[in-house]
Chains A and B, each alone.
Chain A
């Protein structure tokens, strides 16, 4: 199967039903994408497929063939997303950090200059057990608002 991840083309031989999450972590060694719940609830495994946020724990790898995938490892390539990473640091938006890659990827799919309401809705599928969300919203607002 051919996958394009963070702008780089890969040819892999994985089972078609293998979760995109596992293909990224095991076959491509991109372990920045995290598994929380494995049932679509927590958003820790969020990546972008063709610019849209998805839970990679629910996506069969064969459905990602021929698409453009963005993971947390690709954020540093783009000045806008670098700004987001910096804002997460500066605002203390990460505590344990397990939700952070997914949070940032969901933020990447937000409209330009999102309102607080748009941020809340856009990140509603990402759960955080540590921060209470306020600092996460602050970081997204600071970087993109």
Chain B
């Protein structure tokens, strides 16, 4: 057996966020961008499976600037990019304002994954099955990217251009995620993950809702907001069947190893009943 890939990869360890940004910039200018490494729970699975990940890695894990406890600031609930699922579960502020993120975090992997997996990594990885993504999309979360040019903010719903492709530039990194508090007030929050078992299972379909704002995961190339269903609800629409027909127009789930497109569409449509605002007899 040859030397495992993990023994061969080159990892650089910045001393500060500033330092990390300088490295990212010069590597991108040289045409050999660095791969960001946070908790490693996606990257190490790939490396262990022998996927040849090229180039050097920039280890963010030690950057305390990216790991403040979740705080309320400027009218938003603010998360550092290195916030782990365990941090979310333990945060009284997240429990109070965005309980569906706590619920989603509890259903990610087992404790070991919750202790290492980060929000920045879930967003950066961009799997359509990422469980925090529908929650953040439904809650109008904003992704804050930093570079030598300063910061820019992108709504999570505009962060993905296609399957696993993001608008992040090679010299940028996610530093924070901000969830505006005002739209959360007095809205019912719902999170439903449909998978094979509670722990360690990747979802077949996920729905998250903040009042009339509804997002789905695992039903298309990226996380999606059900804009047509949302508009129907805002206009006072109450028929479950009508909402389900609209949903069919905006999500296009595929067949893969975990499930089939037909099953996923049906489950997603059925999940709409859990919003509690739609009538099955209308």
Residues of A participating in the B interface, judged by any CB pair closer than 8 Å:
15-19, 22, 38-41, 43, 46, 52-55, 57-60, 62-63, 106, 109, 121-126
Contact = CB atoms under 8 A, between A and B. Distances in A.
10 contacts: A39-B45, A54-B115, A58-B41, A59-B116, A60-B11, A60-B59, A63-B61, A106-B112, A125-B199, A126-B110
A13 to B, nearest CB: 12
A61 B224 CA distance: 37
B111 A58 contact: no
A56 to B, nearest CB: 9
Contacts of B149: none
Nearest to A26: B7
B256 interface: no
Nearest to B62: A63
A123 B45 CA distance: 20
B96 interface: no
A109 B116 CA distance: 14
A62 B13 contact: yes
A43 B115 CA distance: 13
A58 B49 CA distance: 11
Interface string B56-79: 010101100000000000000000
Contacts of A58: 39-41, 44-45, 48, 116
B61 A55 contact: no
A106 B61 contact: no
Interface residues of B, number: 33
B116 A54 contact: yes
Interface string B105-119: 010011111011000
A43 B47 CA distance: 18
B11 A17 contact: yes
Given A22-B7, A59-B44, A124-B110, A16 B13 contact: yes
Interface of B: 4, 6-11, 13, 37, 39-41, 44-45, 47-49, 57, 59, 61-62, 86, 106, 109-113, 115-116, 198-200
A63 B40 CA distance: 10
Given A59-B116, A62-B11, A41 B6 contact: no
Contact of B57 (A17, A41, A106, A122): A17
A63 to B, nearest CB: 5
A98 to B, nearest CB: 16
B82 to A, nearest CB: 11
A53 B115 contact: yes
Contact of B110 (A19, A22, A63, A125): A125
A125 B112 CA distance: 7
Contacts of B13: 16, 62
A54 B39 CA distance: 10
A28 to B, nearest CB: 15
Contacts of B113: 40, 55, 125
Contacts of A39: 45, 48-49
Nearest to B115: A52
Given A55-B113, A59-B40, A125-B112, 13 more contacts: A16-B11, A17-B11, A17-B57, A22-B4, A53-B115, A57-B48, A58-B48, A63-B62, A106-B111, A124-B111, A125-B109, A125-B110, A125-B113
A22 B109 contact: no
Question: Closest 10 CB pairs between A and B?
Answer: A125-B110, A124-B199, A58-B44, A17-B9, A16-B11, A55-B112, A124-B110, A38-B48, A52-B115, A15-B7
B44 A125 contact: no
B61 A19 contact: no
A54 B6 contact: no
A22 B59 contact: no
Nearest to A15: B7
A117 B39 CA distance: 27
Nearest to B13: A62
